[in-house]
Each structure stands twice: as C-alpha cells, then as structure tokens.
Structure 1
Amino acid sequence: MRRNPGQEEREGWNLPDVVVRKAQAVDLVPLGGLMREYITDFYGCPEPPEERLEELMRLLLDGKQGIQWVAEEDGLLSGFATLYFTYSTLRARPAVILNDLYVVEKSRGTGAAAALFEACTAYARENGYAAMSWETAPDNERAQRFYAKMGGTRGDWLSYSIEL
C-alpha cells in the first residue's frame, strides 16, 4: 500500500476516504461501540460486561500482549483489527494472531478492510514476527474471498475451543 509523506510518524495508512492508525485512548468509546456491534450483531454472541470490554481495550493500548488498529472515515471509526502476540513452536519464533477484522456494513468494499489488513501485516513484518494467522466462520464466504485476495491460504488445521 502506498505511504504518504510523514506517514511513519502517524503510523497510519491512507486511502482517499479511509485512515488506518493504531487505536488511541480517545477511541475507547467509539471503538467499544464497534466491538459490541461485532460481538452481538455480527456474531450473535452475548454482550460482555462494559468493564471487561474496556479492560481489554486498555490492555491492547498498552501494546504488550496485542494491539488494535482502527479505520476512520470522515472523522468516525468504521472498523478495527486486533492482533494478539504469541509464539509458534513450529517456527521457533514469535507470531501474531489476527483475532478480529471488522468493518461496518456501509464501509465494506471501500478498501477499509484491506487497509486494516495491510496495517496488521506491515506491523508484523516490521516487528519480526514469523507469521500472522487468523480464522473465520465456515459460512463467512465474503471473508474467505477477501482473505484469499489478500494472499492468505486456507490451512489444513481444524480449530477447536472450549468455554471455561
């Protein structure tokens, strides 16, 4: 993605109407709204307690266990992406997990998702991570097409989880 002059200082990527940058403390309220929409409306999960969501966002602002990027259009947040830091035993190096990539309905197809994805891959590459991995729902065909277009390859591993 093309960088504009002075962009390194802002750590943002610009498209005609989209700016992608690291989340900041001033983003907590609108970002919390986007995260609740993602959790409840998009995935149909129960809304987490407000204090837990804020604790998570503040943890990510710290940047030690993960980081969040936001997409901003016309001064309003239109999407976010979350990276969590981990390790890959198979690669014997640090790796990142793209846990979330969400763009509001009206901003899909504008390049906001691509800009968020590019910000995440650039960050991972620039910080020496071995790989970036992610998951998507089996029925989220739009996301699957997007990830293939971004150069992702579908893995052979099956994903499992357990609620604790």
Structure 2
Amino acid sequence: MKVTRYVAVRAGLEDLEKIVPLFDGYRIFYRQESDRERVRAFLEERLNKQESVIFLAVEQEEEGGAGRAVGFTQLYPSFSSVTMQRLWILNDLYVSEEARGSGAGAVLMEAARAYAQETGTKGLTLTTWTDNFTAQRLYEKQGYIRDDEFYSYNLFF
C-alpha cells in the first residue's frame, strides 16, 4: 500500500515551475483572474531579490521518492517598532484542493514556525478572510491567536 506524507522544502528559483500553478490557484481562490505569466514574473522577482521565503509541501512516498508539490507558504519580512524586533508576515498559504485535509497545510505552518524561530524573530503574523473557517481552524490548531485588540485598516490604490 502506497502511503503519502508531506515534507516542507524551502523553494528556490529552480522550483519556480512547481510554485507557479500553486500560486495561480491561490490567486484564483481569492477571486483573481488566472495569469501564470505575471505570477512567474512576480515570484521570480521575489526570489531573485530575496524579498520573500517560500516553502513547498511536497509529497514523499513511503519508498522515499519525492513527488509533486501540493501547496506553498510565502513569508515576507517585517519589523515591530514597539518591540524593536523582526517578524515574518505569513502572507500566503495554499494547498491544492485535492490535498486539503491531508496535513500538508500543517506541515507548511510548522516549516514557517521553525524558520521564524531559527531566524530569531518575534514571531509570525497573518490575516485571512473572515469566512475562511477552514484556514482559521488550522491557524488556531497551530497556536495562532485571533487579534481582538487591534483593528486592521488598509489604503489601496
């Protein structure tokens, strides 16, 4: 019997073609038009400029072989002026529809946590849609606490 588990691997430029369809699926989930050409350019620029850190959830077969990528998370660096520490924004988390509920999301969340701890940061912060209950359950299982103290405001152009 073939048992699949997932491992998180830090992605680099050599993984761009694995990330593109996942990132495009993520954008579609958030009601954006598919645009793999722009996705590729955006991700390539982030990776070239070392402006983000991306982890992939990759299938690992029982026999030890690596399989396909089924999800990703992308972290952006930020800072807390109050505590004068770096923190990471967990800006993107996506698991392909067929792999949801398989543990791939938890593997990605743990990779983000470990990376934040390894880099000596204050922690991780993230936002999600108010009706994305599946993601909220995952975040809360991972120890994230919903902020009831601050309001979030945006100014978009």
Q: How does 1:11-160 map to 2 (within 5 A)?
A: 17-40=5-28, 42-48=29-35, 50-51=37-38, 53-62=39-48, 64-73=50-59, 75-156=67-148, 157-160=150-153
Q: Which residue of 2 aligns with 1:161?
A: 154
Question: CA deviation digits over 1:43-63, x for unaligned, max 9?
Answer: 112345724x22332244347
Question: CA deviation digits over 1:82-128, x for unaligned, max 9?
Answer: 00001111211111000011101111121111110000010010101
1:109 aligned counterpart, secondary structure: coil
2:143 aligned counterpart, secondary structure: coil
1:32, 1:49 → 2: CA distance?
A: 6
2:138, 2:44 → 1: CA distance?
A: 29
The count of aligned residue pairs is: 148
1:162, 1:46 → 2: CA distance?
A: 22
Q: Which residue of 2 aligns with 1:4?
A: none
* Contact preservation (8 Å) 2:57, 2:71: yes
RMSD between superposed Cα atoms in Å? 1.9
2:153 aligned counterpart, secondary structure: coil
TM-score with structure 1 length normalisation? 0.82
Q: Specify every segment of 5 or more residues in structure 2 that has no aligned partner in the other structure, as ranges.
A: 60-65
Q: Specify every segment of 5 or more residues in structure 1 that has no aligned partner in the other structure, as ranges.
A: 1-14
1:136, 1:149 → 2: CA distance?
A: 15
Sequence identity, in percent? 35
1:154, 1:132 → 2: CA distance?
A: 12
